[in-house]
Amino acid sequence: MKVLAVVSVLCVLTTGYCQQGNLVELAEQLGAKTLVALVKEAGLAETIATGGPFTIFGPTDEAFSKLPKFILNYLSKNKTALQDVLKYHVVSGKVYSSQLSNELEAASLLAPAKIRINIYQGGKVITADGSPVVMPDQNATNGVIHVVNRVLFPIPLETMVDAVKNDRQLKTLLTAVSAAGIASALGADGLTLFAPTDRAFAKLPAGTLNNLLKNKTALTDVLTYHVVKGTDFSAGLSNGAKVATLEGKNVVVSIQNGEVKIDNAVVIRPDDAVTNGVIHIIDNVLIPPQYRQDPLFRN
């Protein structure tokens, strides 16, 4: 893959975007063996090779190896599900990286599902549903491949609120959101939610949660302190970053040895893509600065 990448760069610099066979042939040249095998298994190879033009966000072999084996086994036994996953990685038309913009929602071949594009660090990092593009603009006769290092799965079909409703470890958060009446605010597009688990809420001092549920102003402040305007997947978070929340104050990101913390909370499940942004599951409730010495949050 490295040799082909060098050839591709030289080709672009000297002649513009070079064509290296159709999309299936190009994927084979790129060494995306698992992707090609699954496309053939799903019966989509002829369409991808002769149709289009298409833009493919093509996962590497390593990306597929990161999926749990039971998911790969399920997809291999369920042709419709496999087709759906693969179609979700494909967009109609030939779209180069220079045409991508932050928070763009690209309609995939799996209607109505859309791929959310985010651009971080002044354009140095491009992600598709949070998966970094590691090799952009690989040109084929009938389209273009952007190589990504994570499979775009699960397919985001739920809103942020619905995802919270359907997650068994977020029952307390759902209760709090309902009590504060902020479900509509969580329906806006392009949001990041740092979602505390039930266990996280259980760590609060005795009586704190009940008192919060009776104090709508404080409850709203606490909950909106967990929400960021803008879709910040893991690839967009950097050590020491201060991120503005809907509550108005900043949360601080720290990254050490692969562990990501938001203030004092560890991200225990990152990058749950939803139709209007992303959810990161955290192990502590985030407390806005003005409440950290408040008797409400002490025993």
Q: Do 140 and 202 belong to one domain?
A: no
Whether the per-residue pLDDT at 258 is higher than 60: the answer is yes
Work out the average pLDDT over 67-94: 96
Closest CA to 245 of 275, 215, 265: 265
How is residue 161 written in tokens? Answer: 């609120």
Q: Do 36 and 167 belong to one domain?
A: no
Q: Do 104 and 141 belong to one domain?
A: yes
Total domains in the fold of the chain? 2
Q: Do 9 and 38 belong to one domain?
A: yes
**Domain span at 14:** 2-148
pLDDT per residue as tens digits for the range 96-118: 999 999 999 999 999 999 999 99
- The residue among 114, 148, 182 that closes a domain is 148
Q: Do 248 and 287 belong to one domain?
A: yes
Q: Is residue 154 part of a domain?
A: no
Q: Do 193 and 81 belong to one domain?
A: no
- The residue among 96, 121, 148 that closes a domain is 148
CATH of the domain at 73: 2.30.180.10
Q: Is residue 153 part of a domain?
A: no
Q: Is residue 170 part of a domain?
A: yes
Q: Do 85 and 171 belong to one domain?
A: no
Confidence class for position 253, pLDDT limits 50, 70, 90? very high
pLDDT per residue as tens digits for the range 178-229: 999 999 999 999 999 999 999 999 999 999 999 999 999 999 999 999 999 9
